[in-house]
């Protein structure tokens, strides 16, 4: 019999194969991961809710299908950690906020439905920055998550719970959302793989909105192939989402199985380095570029001047959309209600509820966004930011006339200590320096490990950016890079969970 330690170290692809062949049962696999959660999550705090009974019921259903001789899907029986921003019928969805504490949604998000239809076993809901607003998972109303590489450091944000669950071997798959880098940034600092698909490629129906023109759900995993397998499960047109793209899902699994950069043109943007970048991050990035050249890629230097304005534009557009989206949390329809004792008006109840239910970062962004949208300031702030967004999109279009993909560091630094930037919002926002342009343009992007920074021995992420609807290029390049790294240096996350 395969022991639990061996099971939790398997990739998702290996796990699915063993379940389909009968070498392992889905219940065995699920129990092994639930035991791992019980053993280490008190230290990591990756999960906000563990659905033990629900997960085991899903696993039993998979085993029964196999016993009946039914064909199992490519991820049937594989456990997954779901970011607590997607609605799950009968299971709490808090979005990391006190304002939705205890809320049980009456329906599943489209993404949740697709996971269940594919027989993926949902272990529970992961911790996150409140309403996905943050770069460190320190803004969760339920406390921070630790980075399994060093529990005193952040696991990235806003989806730090999902990335930490992967790095701590509590799940082989996870789901995140990416508004300004919240899939890729956690992947980078935890040594995992995270993909932001093309905007509109994965349905947002049932995903609690932060910034509607930027938000995008996507796959998180420990290998490029695992991410591709999950990508194919969750992507595809959804008539319930008006921003959903009605186009075929690119052949991402095929690309991941046949990774190569031979003859590809790879762009390096000069704006993605300089002041604020950690020396070890730049060192590992330069080594990755050299590796790509060695593997047969042509390296092209690019100048995208509008990228320098991306951070400023993002922090006007995202808060503006958030101030509109979060207006629905009024204490009257659902969620927390404060002050409803017969002595307060409806307006006062709304004010008291928001004051108590929203955390400091959410309040900061609502105020900033409301100001940017107010009469007399709209054109100067929000309108100007949208013009910059257009310039950034044009810079990408020009770049992709010269190259097939663009590479950069995913984050300027490795994981920083918990609390280090808590009182400095601007320093916190700089963590998304390399990831934000992609969200503004709607392109596809991936982060994958490219080694450890020599000064602190913490993971560094390599970002790959592809044009919209060319998500398969991410997996083609990512698989080639991953294979070369594993051949030369091994993959530490597949061997043992660091610091646990």
pLDDT at residue 93, as a whole number: 97
Going by C-alpha positions, the residue among 21, 13, 30 that lies closest to residue 229 is: 13
pLDDT at 147 over 80: yes
pLDDT at 422 over 90: no
Q: What is the CATH number of the domain that holds 449?
A: 3.90.1300.10
Structural domain boundaries enclosing 129: 2-302+393-494
Say how far residue 7 (Cα) sits from the centre of its chain: 24
Instruction: Look at 103-117, 209-223, 281-295, 320-334 and tell me which has the smallest mean pLDDT.
Output: 320-334
In a domain, 422, yes or no: yes
pLDDT at 350 over 70: yes
Query: Which residues, listed in sequence order, are joined to residue 407 by a DSSP beta bridge?
Result: 268, 464
pLDDT at 280 over 80: yes
In a domain, 72, yes or no: yes
% of the chain with per-residue pLDDT over 90? 90
Q: How many CB atoms lie within 10 A of CB 211?
A: 24
CA distance 401 to 416: 36
Question: Which carries the bigger pLDDT value, residue 257 or residue 486?
Answer: 257
Give the pLDDT band of residue 97 (cuts 50, 70, 90): very high
**pLDDT tens, 236-246?**
999 999 999 99
Going by C-alpha positions, the residue among 253, 255, 258, 257 that lies closest to residue 74 is: 253
The residue from 162, 163, 182, 323 that is catalytic is: 182
CA distance 443 to 396: 9
pLDDT at residue 332, as a whole number: 86
pLDDT at 459 over 80: yes
pLDDT at residue 493, as a whole number: 53
In a domain, 81, yes or no: yes
pLDDT at 254 over 70: yes
Q: How many domains does the chain have?
A: 1
The residue from 83, 125, 196, 476 that is catalytic is: 83
Question: Which carries the bigger pLDDT value, residue 473 or residue 331?
Answer: 473
**pLDDT tens, 409-421?**
999 999 999 999 9
Give the pLDDT band of residue 465 (cuts 50, 70, 90): very high
pLDDT at 499 over 70: no
pTM of the model: 0.97
In a domain, 363, yes or no: no
pLDDT at 1 over 90: no
What is the DSSP code (8-state) at residue 239? T
Give yes or no: 21 in active site. Answer: no
pLDDT at 495 over 80: no
In a domain, 373, yes or no: no
Q: Phi and psi dihedrals of 62, rounded to 5?
A: -65, -45
In a domain, 356, yes or no: no
Question: Which carries the bigger pLDDT value, residue 373 or residue 492?
Answer: 373
| Segment 229-234 mean pLDDT | 98
| Segment 141-149 mean pLDDT | 97
The residue from 135, 136, 158, 408 that is catalytic is: 158
Instruction: Look at 266-275, 278-287, 423-432, 460-469 and tell me which has the smallest mean pLDDT.
Output: 423-432
pLDDT at residue 393, as a whole number: 98
Work out the angle at residue 190's Cα, subtended by the Cα atoms of residues 43 and 217, and round it to the nearest 5 degrees: 105
pLDDT at 497 over 70: no
CA dihedral 132, 119, 201, 447 (to 10 degrees): 60
**pLDDT tens, 190-222?**
999 999 999 999 999 999 999 999 999 999 999
| Segment 123-141 mean pLDDT | 97
Q: Which tokens in the block code for residue 428?
A: 């916190």
pLDDT at 496 over 60: no
Burial label for 247, CB within 10 Å (0-12, 13-18, 19+), is: middle
Work out the angle at residue 407's Cα, subtended by the Cα atoms of residues 402 and 410, and round it to the nearest 5 degrees: 150
In a domain, 25, yes or no: yes
pLDDT at 2 over 60: yes
Give yes or no: 83 in active site. Answer: yes
Q: Phi and psi dihedrals of 178, rounded to 5?
A: -130, 110
Helix and strand numbers (H, E) in the chain are 18, 11
CA distance 205 to 59: 26
pLDDT at residue 48, as a whole number: 98
CA distance 28 to 483: 29
pLDDT at residue 429, as a whole number: 83
């Amino acid at each position: 019999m395969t022991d639990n330690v061996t099971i939790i170290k398997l990739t998702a692809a290996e796990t699915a194969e063993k379940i389909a062949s009968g070498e392992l049962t889905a219940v065995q696999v699920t129990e092994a991961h639930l035991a791992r959660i019980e053993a280490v999550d008190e230290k990591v705090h990756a999960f906000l809710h563990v659905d033990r009974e629900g997960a085991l019921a899903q696993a039993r259903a998979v085993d029964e299908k196999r016993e009946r001789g039914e064909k199992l899907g490519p991820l049937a029986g594989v456990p997954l950690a779901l970011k607590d921003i997607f609605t799950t019928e009968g299971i709490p969805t808090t979005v990391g906020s006190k304002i939705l504490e205890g809320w049980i949604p009456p329906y599943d998000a489209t993404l949740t439905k697709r996971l269940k239809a594919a027989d993926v076993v949902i272990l529970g809901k992961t911790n996150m920055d409140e309403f996905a607003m943050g770069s460190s998972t320190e803004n969760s109303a339920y406390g921070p998550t630790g980075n399994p590489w060093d529990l005193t450091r952040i696991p990235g944000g806003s989806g730090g719970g999902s990335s930490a669950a992967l790095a701590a071997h509590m799940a082989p798959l996870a789901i995140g959302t990416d508004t300004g880098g919240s899939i890729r940034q956690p992947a980078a600092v935890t040594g995992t793989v995270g993909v932001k698909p093309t905007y509109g490629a994965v349905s947002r129906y049932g995903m609690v909105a932060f910034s509607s023109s930027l938000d995008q759900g996507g796959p998180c995993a420990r290998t490029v192939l695992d991410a591709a397998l999950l990508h194919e499960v969750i992507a595809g047109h959804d008539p319930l989402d008006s921003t959903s793209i009605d186009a075929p899902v690119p052949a991402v699994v095929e690309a991941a199985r046949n990774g190569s950069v031979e003859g590809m043109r790879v762009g390096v943007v000069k704006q993605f380095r300089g002041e604020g970048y950690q020396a070890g991050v730049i060192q590992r990035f330069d080594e990755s570029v050299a590796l790509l050249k060695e593997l047969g890629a042509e390296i092209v230097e690019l100048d995208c001047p509008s990228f320098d304005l991306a951070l400023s534009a993002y922090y006007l557009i995202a808060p503006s959309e958030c101030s509109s989206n979060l207006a629905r949390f009024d204490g009257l329809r659902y969620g927390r209600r404060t002050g409803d004792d017969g002595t307060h008006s409806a307006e006062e109840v709304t004010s008291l509820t928001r004051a108590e239910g929203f955390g400091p970062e959410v309040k900061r962004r609502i105020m900033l966004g409301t100001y940017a949208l107010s009469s007399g300031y709209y054109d100067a702030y929000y309108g100007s930011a949208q013009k910059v967004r257009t310039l950034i999109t044009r810079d990408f279009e020009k770049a992709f006339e010269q190259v097939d993909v663009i590479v950069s560091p995913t984050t300027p630094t490795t994981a920083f200590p918990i609390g280090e930037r808590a009182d400095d919002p601007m320093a916190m926002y700089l963590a998304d320096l390399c990831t934000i342009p992609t969200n503004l343009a709607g392109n596809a992007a991936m982060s994958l490990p490219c080694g450890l920074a020599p000064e602190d021995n913490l993971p560094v992420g390599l970002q790959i950016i592809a044009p919209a609807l060319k998500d398969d290029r991410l997996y083609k390049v990512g698989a080639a890079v991953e294979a070369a790294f594993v051949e030369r240096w091994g993959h530490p996350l597949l061997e043992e969970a660091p610091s646990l």
